[in-house]
């Protein structure tokens, strides 16, 4: 892996695209989030349309679990860092969003998380229009998510990350380390850079997202 720019704020590395085997540049950009610490944004895009983005928290390396209870509309502003290795759960709705090899990382807030999940539910519901039972479940989930987005429904948001790169930043958030057994049961969805061989190894678990009732 060749380092093209070693500046403190950002640098580029070069590797091989896992899809088409062309040369591909990976950009690494550091940032500092107030009250939380330093993070690294990782982005890459190949001519063949393969792309990869991730956010690494440089101050956290242990498997971690964050939980926050949404009780009013102000709680929707809690900042969320969801890495490609993070699993999001809403226990009250039976919703799990698990990482896959095509997962993106993002920095958002609780409202943004709910909006993203609602988008997936809307799409899944439209696919079930000819199955009345599934369609009804989808419409009910949309209603509950809308209520939560308006601050009218109490929900619990859980983020678990076996690589420690996800977080909920709020005074109300409760965090703890995951045990090795708990971390081992989670999918990582990560693309792993092998520095010695300049190759990319892809973790490709089955199922990028699952929504259950």
- Residue extents of the structural domains in the chain: 60-211
Please tell me the predicted confidence (pLDDT) of residue 4: 41
Please tell me the predicted confidence (pLDDT) of residue 31: 86
Q: Name the CATH topology of 60-211.
A: Jelly Rolls (2.60.120)
In tens, the pLDDT along 112-141 reads 999 999 999 999 999 988 999 999 999 999
Which residues touch 47 (CB under 8 Å, ≥6 apart)?
A: 20, 22
Please tell me the predicted confidence (pLDDT) of residue 123: 92
Please tell me the predicted confidence (pLDDT) of residue 1: 41
Cα 198 from chain centroid (whole Å):
25
| Furthest CA-CA distance within the chain | 57
Residues of the chain falling short of pLDDT 50: 1-8, 190-213
Please tell me the predicted confidence (pLDDT) of residue 39: 79
């Amino acid at each position: 892996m060749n380092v093209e720019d070693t500046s403190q704020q950002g640098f580029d590395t070069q590797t091989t695209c896992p899809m088409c085997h062309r040369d591909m540049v990976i950009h690494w950009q550091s940032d500092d989030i107030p009250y939380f610490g330093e993070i690294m944004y990782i982005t890459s895009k190949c001519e063949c349309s393969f792309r990869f983005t991730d956010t690494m928290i440089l101050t956290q390396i242990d498997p971690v679990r964050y939980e926050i209870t949404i009780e009013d509309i102000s709680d929707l502003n809690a900042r969320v860092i969801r890495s490609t290795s993070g699993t999001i759960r809403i226990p009250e709705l039976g919703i799990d969003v698990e990482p896959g090899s095509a997962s993106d990382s993002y920095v958002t807030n609780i409202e943004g998380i709910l909006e993203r999940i609602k988008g997936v539910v809307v799409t899944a519901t439209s696919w079930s229009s000819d199955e009345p039972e599934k369609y009804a479940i989808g419409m009910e989930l949309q209603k509950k998510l809308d209520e939560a987005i308006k601050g009218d429904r109490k929900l619990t948001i859980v983020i678990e990350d076996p690589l420690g790169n996800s977080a909920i930043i709020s005074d109300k958030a409760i965090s703890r380390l995951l045990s090795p057994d708990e971390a081992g049961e989670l999918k990582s969805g990560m693309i792993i850079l092998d520095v010695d061989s300049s190759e990319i190894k892809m973790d490709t678990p089955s199922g990028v997202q699952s929504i259950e009732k």
